[in-house]
């Protein structure tokens, strides 16, 4: 009898376990999308220009999912003369490295008329976005938001009553093809600063909603009825509520600063990772970064308030972007009685560094390993190679090969890229504060081959442009991983600077900034088999070679869809085998 009872109980437990597994599987959804990418005429800033649209819309549609869901995007290239890929920025692609959307790294470009299926799991809640990663198609407007909510039954570690989404970008009237030609010409032709800052794909050129506060008498007031493609995206809020404002920057060039008139912001999330909350009046955001902030609508309910975005890190020649925080039931046409918030001076780097140093992981977040196994130091410089202006890392300017690395490494193709590894450091006598013009630079497409499940430190070392005494801000984005930001420093990184590392509560990010003539220390674990880009997220800089490639555990990658590798030497391999 006891044996029968035990058997019955074991059977019951197995059934309950099965039901639990079934509920977990049942709770996760597969979210299907059919997208067509094509050029459309659009007026993002009230001036008509071609944009890259998805299903006829700019920006592309927002994807909204729950942690654990699978995203299935059937992407058809309706462009007539260009390939295309989509990178799912911040999604780590565990088990699906071919879906990362990096041309010549994780997949072949999708040719005109072809359809490619991206299928991947969103494993972690957070604020993300997607964008083109072929040529400079992000500059052409190929981007959209990707929001992942917490799994059913879970809650974020903060309360809010509603939320808004702001996707920030910059916009030029010069076509992306003209921009690319200028960057690759002798003499070099710089595209210059953007004409407009866009908020959710909307801005106003040559006029301002706040013209009556401007000292520029020639600046006219925008006369918009609200139905135009460039009409501001207004945030409609109820008084005395807490709102989560999700902010992501897909700018091609500009570092930005956001502020809301009369409202403080509490920063709670960065790049899909929760932070120790801290309060700010304004927020710096670099290309590739995302944040969530909480605002409380506790101001005079009879007024509306400016939401202002201005340029940082470069001498601003682009007017601030503006929209309204509309306190309902006020009319959205009721402009605030005072001037918009003033963006901090563009070169006030102390302000930027103070903000960055406040970003700390929420208590209970994963901590970094105490020690590293492998260290790579990456020197960022602007160079000339055969008369062309380039960016280089340790004096190598990245030029990706025709065959995607993922396939050529997986299948052992010997001649697809340079098998000599790129340098892991730079000359010890290089003076980052008074650097030379780097005449010994070269093109390269080598790969940093990393052992699986090791701890890697990357020291980003900033130095010079080709203009004397000039160094620029660079936001660096890592595919396939989050990393811990261990610290920042001035001048040249030295071994003793390790004492400054924060190993207690460093934030987990996927994008980090290096300040002019400074260094930033990152640590990550190679726990995701695949080939991953690591690059400056400024579009012209990547186009000019400012990136590297990491490979780890590629032998463990499962079957790669043939369509991802149907080009170059892997394409020939598949044709031969078929």
What residues does each domain of the chain span? 30-149, 162-358, 374-575
Q: Record the tokens describing residue 399, joined without a space.
A: 């030029």
- Domain 162-358 architecture: Sandwich (2.60)
The answer to whether the CB of 548 falls within 8 A of the CB of 398 is yes
Query: Mean pLDDT across the chain, nearest whole number?
Result: 92
Q: What is the pLDDT of residue 137?
A: 97
pLDDT at 492 exceeding the cut of 90: yes
Q: What is the pLDDT of residue 544?
A: 96
Average pLDDT over residues 552-575: 89
pLDDT at 342 exceeding the cut of 80: yes
Average pLDDT over residues 129-137: 97
**Overall fold of domain 374-575:** Immunoglobulin-like (2.60.40)
Range with lowest mean pLDDT among 158-167, 209-218, 531-540:
209-218
Say whether pTM exceeds 0.75: yes
Short-list 165, 138, 133, CA closest to 149: 165
What band does 227 get if pLDDT is binned at 50, 70 and 90? confident
What band does 224 get if pLDDT is binned at 50, 70 and 90? confident
pLDDT at 573 exceeding the cut of 70: no
pLDDT, one tens digit per residue, over 286-340 is 999 999 999 999 999 999 999 999 999 999 899 999 999 999 999 999 999 999 9
Range with lowest mean pLDDT among 123-127, 342-346, 568-572:
568-572
What band does 10 get if pLDDT is binned at 50, 70 and 90? very low
Average pLDDT over residues 148-165: 96
Topology match between the domains 30-149 and 374-575: yes
Q: What is the pLDDT of residue 578?
A: 52
What band does 117 get if pLDDT is binned at 50, 70 and 90? very high
d(CA 244, CA 270): 13
Short-list 137, 367, 327, CA closest to 240: 327
pLDDT at 12 exceeding the cut of 70: no
The Cα-based distances of 456 to 365, 497, 522 in angstroms read: 19, 17, 8
Average pLDDT over residues 214-220: 75
Short-list 209, 206, 272, CA closest to 43: 206
pLDDT at 8 exceeding the cut of 80: no
Short-list 144, 146, 134, 145, CA closest to 79: 134
Does domain 30-149 sit in CATH 2.60.40.420? yes
d(CA 78, CA 308): 36
* Percent of the chain at pLDDT exceeding 70: 93
Q: What is the pLDDT of residue 545?
A: 97
Q: What is the pLDDT of residue 20?
A: 37
Q: What is the pLDDT of residue 60?
A: 98
pLDDT, one tens digit per residue, over 267-280 is 999 999 999 999 99
Short-list 262, 259, 278, CA closest to 270: 278
What band does 70 get if pLDDT is binned at 50, 70 and 90? very high
Range with lowest mean pLDDT among 24-28, 80-84, 110-114:
24-28
pLDDT at 3 exceeding the cut of 70: no
List CB contacts of 79: < 8 A, sequence separation 6 or more.
Answer: 37, 38, 39, 52, 112
What band does 433 get if pLDDT is binned at 50, 70 and 90? confident
Q: What is the pLDDT of residue 17?
A: 38
């Amino acid at each position: 009898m006891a044996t029968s009872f035990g058997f019955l109980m074991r059977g019951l437990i197995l059934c309950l376990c099965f039901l639990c597994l079934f509920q977990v599987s049942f709770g996760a959804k597969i979210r299907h999308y059919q997208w067509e990418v094509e050029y459309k005429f659009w007026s993002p800033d009230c001036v008509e220009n071609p944009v890259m649209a998805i299903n006829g819309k700019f920006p592309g549609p927002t994807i909204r999912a729950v942690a654990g869901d699978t995203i299935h995007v059937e992407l058809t290239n309706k462009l007539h003369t260009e390939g295309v890929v989509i990178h799912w920025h911040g999604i780590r692609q565990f088990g699906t490295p071919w879906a990362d959307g990096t041309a010549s790294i994780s997949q072949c470009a999708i040719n005109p008329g072809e359809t490619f299926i991206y299928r991947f799991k969103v494993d972690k809640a957070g604020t993300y976005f997607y964008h083109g990663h072929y040529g400079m198609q992000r500059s052409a407007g190929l981007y959209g938001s990707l929001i992942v909510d917490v799994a059913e039954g879970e809650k974020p570690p903060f309360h809010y009553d509603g939320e808004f989404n702001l996707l920030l970008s910059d916009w030029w009237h010069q076509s992306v093809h003209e921009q690319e030609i200028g960057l690759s010409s002798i003499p070099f032709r710089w595209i210059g600063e953007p004409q407009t800052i866009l908020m959710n794909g909307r801005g106003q050129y040559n006029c301002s909603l706040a013209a009556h506060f401007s000292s520029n008498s020639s600046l006219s007031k925008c006369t918009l009825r609200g139905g135009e493609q460039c009409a501001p995206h207004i945030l409609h809020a109820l008084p005395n509520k807490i709102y989560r404002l999700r902010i992501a920057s897909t700018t091609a060039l500009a570092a930005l600063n956001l502020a809301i008139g009369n409202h403080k912001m509490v920063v709670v999330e960065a790049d899909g990772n929760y932070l120790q909350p801290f309060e700010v009046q304004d927020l710096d955001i670099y290309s590739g970064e995302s944040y969530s902030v909480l605002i409380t609508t506790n101001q005079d309910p009879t007024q509306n308030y400016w939401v202002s975005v201005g340029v940082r890190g470069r001498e601003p020649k682009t007017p601030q972007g503006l929209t309204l925080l509309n306190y309902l039931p006020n009319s959205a046409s009721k402009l605030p009685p005072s001037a918009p918030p003033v963006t901090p001076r563009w070169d006030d780097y102390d302000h930027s560094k103070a903000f960055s140093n406040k970003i700390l992981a929420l208590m209970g977040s994963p901590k970094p390993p105490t020690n590293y196994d492998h260290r790579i130091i990456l020197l960022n410089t602007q160079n000339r190679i055969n008369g062309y202006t380039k960016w280089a890392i340790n004096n190598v300017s990245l030029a990706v090969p025709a065959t995607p690395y993922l396939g050529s490494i997986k299948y052992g193709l010997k001649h697809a890229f340079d098998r000599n590894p790129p340098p892991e450091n730079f000359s010890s006598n290089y003076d980052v504060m008074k650097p030379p013009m780097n005449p010994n630079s070269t093109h390269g497409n080598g790969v940093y081959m990393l052992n699986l499940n090791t701890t890697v430190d990357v020291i980003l070392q900033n130095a010079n442009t080709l203009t004397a005494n000039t160094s620029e801000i660079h936001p660096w984005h890592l595919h396939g991983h989050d990393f811990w930001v261990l610290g920042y420093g001035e001048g040249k990184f030295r071994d003793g600077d390790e004492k400054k590392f924060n190993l207690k509560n460093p934030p987990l990010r996927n994008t980090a900034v290096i300040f002019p003539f400074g260094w930033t220390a990152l640590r990550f674990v190679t726990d995701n088999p695949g080939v991953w880009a690591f690059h400056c997220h400024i579009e012209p800089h990547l186009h000019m070679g400012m990136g590297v490639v990491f490979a780890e555990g590629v032998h463990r990658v499962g079957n790669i869809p043939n369509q991802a590798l149907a080009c170059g030497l892997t394409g020939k391999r598949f044709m031969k085998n078929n």
